[in-house]
Amino acid sequence: METLVEKAAQYVTQLLREQLPKENTYHNLAHTHRVVGQVTELARLEDCSPTDKALLQLAAWFHDTGFIHSDENHEAHSAEIAQAYLQEQQLPQEQIDTIIRLIRVTQMAVQPTTLLEKIMKDADCGHVASYAYFDLSEALRQELVAKKGTDLTKKQWLEQNNDFFQNHTFYTPSAQEHWSAGKQHNQEVLAQKQQQQEAKLEKKKPASRKLGRGVETMFRVTLKNHIDLSSIADTKANILLSVNAIIISVALSNLVPKLDAPSNSFLIYPTLILMLFSVVSVVLSVLSTRPNVSNVSVTREMIKANKTNILFFGNFHKMSLEEFEWGMDYLIDNEETLYNSLTKDLYYLGLVLERKYRLLRITYTVFMIGIVVSALAFIISFYDSSHLN
């Protein structure tokens, strides 16, 4: 068995060096060496037989080889690689099955039952008692960042480490006896680091603003002015719509029927010009009053990060009642977020007003030019017609 373990070590070493992704800064050959050393130590402390010790070492060598294929379900890939290699080496199937179980027990959710499984589980998480724990933890963080493409802040990573320590336990008596002190030390250092990080973040927090009646009055008056200006813009647009609708109706009912007569041919171009400018004015008036509703789906994370404003119906119309009630409660409980939402409301109302008044200015300009050009066209056409007659 010792010869097989040595051959497997050479095989796995070459496999990981040639095919393991460079992003694996934690689950790499160095980690495999650590786990092999730890299963060897625990096997000695638990007085395992030479055969059981060899099975543990083989499982340790192969337990992370599945990372050459995928991070997802890598334990299953590792088991397949181990089974294929060990069958070639003609290892008895019963021993291969034991190694497969030892590899699969390294999954986070799997609980060990036999002594060998407990040894394997403790060895794979033995870094929690290592003096180099925080260096290894940083290597794991870099691996996760590189592979998932999302950054983890120091605060988030310390919280995840703390959660891991809270849920972790050693299963073998030897690990509990020899490694618990190292784990306890690392947990205490972790708690200190969390306190230091929270203190740094607390110092960086801006002093809370004093928001009183004057600020509330400012928001209320400004929002009312925005709404009044929007109402004025809509009224102006409706006036233009009505005037141009009347012009088009009169032209269609009185001028167009008379264009068939040869004596009225001089009215064709002036009428077309009048109709064209009136239609353009109608289209621009409609554009200035046409509503626009957002299609963005608002989430709780967006509300917490001050990236949206659920006080505007266009943002919350896709939310469920439960989500909307939660969002309103969150605004009530967080004054800074509430005023931030009101500020966003002011800003986007301003953008809507700018668009309305810009289109209205263009519409009035088109209408004015249309009236002048149409009047000149009628005068010129009538003048030319009278001289020809």
Where residue 389 falls among pLDDT bands split at 50, 70, 90?
Answer: low
More confident position, 79 or 196? 79
Q: Which residue has the higher pLDDT, 311 or 122?
A: 122
**Among the three residues 204, 231, 257, which one is the final residue of a domain in this structure?**
204
What does the pLDDT read at residue 318? 76
Least confident of 88-102, 293-307, 359-373: 293-307
Q: How much is the pLDDT for 3?
A: 85
Same domain as 146, residue 31 = yes
Q: d(Cα 114, Cα 351) in Å, to the nearest integer?
A: 68
Number of domains in the chain: 2
The pLDDT score that the predictor gives to residue 388 is 56
Q: Which of 107, 95, 93, 4 is nearest to 63 (CA)?
A: 107
**Token match 């554009």: residue?**
287
Which of the pair, 153 or 176, is modelled with greater confidence?
176
**Cα 123 to Cα 55: distance, rounded to the nearest angstrom:** 14
- Domain with 156, as residue range(s), is 2-204
Residue 181 shares a structural domain with residue 159: yes
pLDDT of 205 reads 57
Is pTM beyond 0.75? Reply is: no
Mean pLDDT of 48-71: 93
Quote the pLDDT of residue 260: 63
Looking at residue 161, what is its pLDDT?
92
Residues 103 and 234 both lie in one domain: no
> Which residue, among 19, 168, 3, 153, has the nearest Cα to 81 in the 3D structure?
19
Whether 186 and 335 share a structural domain: no
Convert the pLDDT of each residue in 324-367 to its tens digit.
888 888 888 887 777 787 888 788 888 888 888 888 899 899 98
Say yes or no: 183 and 219 in one domain.
no
What integer pLDDT is reported at residue 262 of this predicted model? 67
Looking at residue 221, what is its pLDDT? 85
Place of tokens 């021993």: 95
Mean pLDDT of the chain, nearest integer: 85
Lowest-pLDDT range of 5-9, 49-53, 213-217, 328-332 = 213-217
Q: Give 12's contacts (C-beta < 8 A, 6+ positions apart).
A: 32, 61, 62, 65
In Å, how far are 85, 304, 310, 335, 343 from 307, measured between CA atoms? Answer: 53, 8, 10, 15, 12
* Spatial separation of the C-alpha atoms in residues 39 and 153, rounded to whole Å: 33
Nearest Cα residue to 297 out of 306, 287, 310, 284: 310
With a cut of 60, say whether residue 211 has pLDDT above it: no
Looking at residue 178, its pLDDT comes to: 93
Burial class (CB in 10 A: 0-12, 13-18, 19+), 356: buried
Tell me: do 164 and 221 sit in the same domain: no
Indicate whether 87 and 170 sit together in one domain: yes
Residue 381: pLDDT over 90? no
What distances in angstroms separate CA 160 from CA 154, 166, 167, one per listed residue? Answer: 10, 10, 11
pLDDT reported for residue 259: 64
Residues 181 and 261 in one domain: no
pLDDT tens per residue across span 23-34: 999 999 999 999
Q: Is residue 140 pLDDT above 60, yes or no?
A: yes
Going by C-beta distance under 8 Å and a sequence separation of 6 or more, which residues neighbour residue 34? 126, 127, 130
The CATH number linked to 28 is 1.10.3210.10
The top-scoring range by mean pLDDT among 181-190, 232-241, 332-341 is: 181-190
Indicate if 20 and 120 belong to the same structural domain: yes
Same-domain status, 185 and 263: no
Give the residue with greater pLDDT, 36 vs 268: 36
* Token representation of residue 111: 């609980």
Give the angle subtended at the CA of 166 by the CAs of 160 and 172, to the nearest 5°.
Answer: 120
Q: State the alpha helices, DSSP H only, in the chain.
A: 2-19, 29-45, 50-62, 74-88, 93-104, 115-124, 133-148, 154-167, 173-178, 180-204, 213-250, 268-289, 300-304, 313-316, 321-333, 335-388
Q: State which of 172, 204, 236 marks the end of a domain.
A: 204
- Choice between 387 and 327, residue whose per-residue pLDDT is larger: 327
* Contacting residues for 375 by C-beta, under 8 A, at least 6 apart: none
**182 and 40 both lie in a single domain:** yes
Out of 1-5, 11-15, 104-108, 116-120, which region has the weakest mean confidence (pLDDT)? Answer: 1-5
Q: Does 127 have pLDDT greater than 80?
A: yes
> By the 8 A CB rule, do 365 and 371 touch?
no
Using alpha carbons, select from 324, 297, 312, 43 the residue that is nearest to residue 5: 43
Task: Report how far apart the first and last C-alpha atoms of the chain are (Å, whole number).
Answer: 121
- Separation CA 78–CA 99 (nearest Å): 11
* Domain co-membership, 181 together with 248: no
Residues 6+ positions from 355 with CB-CB distance below 8 Å: 288
**Final residue of a domain: which of 178, 204, 230?**
204
Choice between 259 and 268, residue whose per-residue pLDDT is larger: 268
pLDDT at 206: 55
Residue owning tokens 């007003």: 353
